[in-house]
Structure 1
């Protein structure tokens, strides 16, 4: 997605931390201009689709040549994986070349996944971003409603370190501050993933979760999370900074997730092998009337500022 190029459009660092205000600078980010925004909440309204079988992850179980680059762009930690991997099948409309993965997290006392399950957040979420093979660059892909395919994995916490996740976590100290990069020796990306549960996922059509919020993403969210340790999580929530090392005031990078958006009329599909989520008892959703009233209020506020 080359997100670091997109993020540099921001003239003020603080704008990043107020996603409700993104629409003032990037109209396409306004939640009422378009109905395919991400992230969303996953609940028991999803629909089983028996045709959604396993995706084909070409090169994910191999060690790629060359080197990968880990980067702190001030808004996330990104791992640029070069060429050699692709995603296809599982209902995707084309072959997609994998270009990078990045993370979203909360703070020392807050969870930070972007998507929610039954209104609950996981501690973290990782996105593996791939671009449709017919496009020469990301800019062109963003003009295509299915130009990008993102594989999303929730990250949960246990007591033991995830040895495979160590390929990334052990390098985080080298990218603690905005603008820092370091080389990472390639490793089989599949070793990070819940490889025995890769047929269990949810599918919907949505958007980037950062400016320009282009509605150009085929989302695949996996049901079974990746597990890391508390100490590995703390490396993200407490030891990564959104400012440069020589900044007058150093600011921790925390809560880098976008707010939840309505699904509207979109169908959220469940793969053939996934488990349907249980009911949402104790977490009542807003009534349709309440949602419409909120939309009218927000739209009036947005139009008045144009």
Structure 2
């Protein structure tokens, strides 16, 4: 497990208020370090025409063996085995794909880690990739660009996402902390907004959990992944941060870190990302139109 080594020491402290992580981990202190994640993606982004779509090697293929889904008490993680990697799009080298995991809110609140023009989405999915030159996670965390994380906002519509069901149908098997189950591999590309993968934002930041290592090249995609209300509720209401035999069962909710200042960091918009326009109240024009279309479709669905 990618985070097993990272959380070996942190496990007893990560349950604390994220604002208090700095008391236990120097690198988590927001006043001592300036490259924290997550951040708000706002009007201060700069266009970088050199940022083209990343190369997602093996994401369209059916991998051999099996994948492992686990509830580690802090998130639901899917370990992806070997066979996939990412490169290009301004990344400093080739990165091996290791796992994906999720952040969410509660039945009454949204829970994405990053926000887009101050909007928090219901969920966020992170695909974690490690630079190929590093032998292990410890070495990668010492490199300012040792990890490349692909972040996808998750929004909600009325119909189930049949591809997301590969994961959501297995969640009942990992409802409690420490539970693990196997998943038959599927093309990872089927989860992603594959027609919009050239639209993203890029910045350098940190892990969003202890030890908050500032070793992450973040790529946040503009167009969300869509799941149903039922699939969202499986995370917000049916996953627990405690063991099955615990005296008091605690729902796993709001497992996201607070927003941090950008400071002097450059946040770049890819060549095809929505254009920033003051006429659109600071939102990317393309994204504004996209959101309007989605809202119209939702309205029609509620009437029919």
TM-score, scaled relative to structure 2: 0.90
Contact 1:4–1:73 (CA under 8 A) maintained in structure 2: no
Q: Deviations over 1:227-278 (max 9, x none)?
A: 0000000000000000000001000000000000000001100000110345
Does structure 1 residue 111 correspond to structure 2 residue 126? no
Residues 278, 225 of structure 1: alpha-carbon distance in 2 compared, 3 angstrom cutoff: farther
For residues 89 and 282 of structure 1, the distance between their equivalents in structure 2, rounded to whole angstroms, comes to 29
CA distance in 2, matches of 1:221, 1:133: 21
Alignment-derived partner of residue 22 in structure 1: 21
Structure 1: give runs of 5+ residues left out of the alignment: 284-306
**Structure-2 residue corresponding to 1:2:** 2
The offset of 1:34, in angstroms, is 1.6
Q: Give the match's secondary structure for 1:16.
A: coil
- For 2:92, the equivalent position in structure 1 comes to 93
Residues 120-199 of structure 1 aligned to structure 2 (within 5 Å): 120-199=119-198
Gaps of 5+ in 2: 284-304
Once the two structures are TM-superposed, the CA of residue 9 in structure 1 deviates from its matched residue by 2.3
1:238 aligns with 2:237: yes
Shift of 1:120: 1.3
User: Hey, what does 1:206 align to over in structure 2?
Assistant: 205
The CA distance in 2 between the partners of 1:17 and 1:160, in whole Å, is: 36
Match of 1:81 in 2: 80
> Residue 256 and residue 277 in structure 1: after superposition, are their counterparts in 2 closer, same or farther (change >3 A)?
farther
Change (3 A) 1:209 1:89: same
RMSD after superposition = 1.6
| Cα pair 1:100 1:128 within 8 Å, conserved | yes
Could you tell me how far 1:32 is from its partner in structure 2? 1.4
Q: How far apart, CA to CA, are the structure 2 residues paired with 1:237 and 1:116?
A: 19
8 Å contact 1:46–1:276 — kept in the other structure?
Answer: no
Deviations 1:156-201 (A, max 9, x none): 0000000000000000000000000000000000000000000000
Say which is worse superposed, 269-278 or 41-50, in terms of deviation.
269-278
Q: For 1:160, what is the secondary structure of its paired residue?
A: coil
Task: Assess if the C-alpha contact under 8 Å between 2:69 and 2:174 holds in 1.
Answer: yes
CA deviations 1:127-162 (Å, max 9, x no partner) are 000000000001000000000000000000000000
Q: Residues 225 and 157 from structure 1, CA distance in 2 versus in 1: closer, same or farther, beyond 3 angstroms?
A: same
Partner of 1:43: 42
Give, in whole Å, the separation in 2 of the partners of 1:90 and 1:177: 38
Q: Secondary structure at the match of 1:99?
A: strand
